[in-house]
Amino acid sequence: IVLSGGDDRLWKMWGFPDGNILLTGEGHTDWLSGCCFRPSGTQLVTSSGDTTVRIWDLSRRGCILTLRGHSRAVRGCSWHSCGDFVASASMDGTSKIWDVN
């Protein structure tokens, strides 16, 4: 499985080796800059030019939390290995650690 995000404002989960799209998520209002699975594999995090970071639940097939606090585009995101925290980095010159619980 591979995740991708781009200028179309969507994230896509691809199955390989066939290359089939398994899931697609929409909700960001600008390009996606990053996407990353939670260590448990049940959720993912995305970052976007719309200044937000979003948490997606794969079983619900939707966004369950929108993190706001950056004032410019968010350029990247990542889960901490414990799965309780997300890091984000923004063009506003800040990085944030979010407690997603």
**DSSP state, 70?**
-
Q: Helix or strand or coil: residue 49?
A: coil
Rounded Cα distance, 80 and 61, in Å: 22
Domains of the chain: 28-99 (2.40.10)
pTM exceeds 0.85, yes or no: yes
pLDDT per position as a tens digit, 86-95: 999 999 999 9
The token pair at 28 is: 């960001």
- Position 61 pLDDT exceeds 90: no
Predicted confidence band at 73 (pLDDT cuts at 50, 70, 90)?
very high
pLDDT per position as a tens digit, 6-52: 999 999 999 988 999 999 999 999 999 999 999 999 999 999 999 99
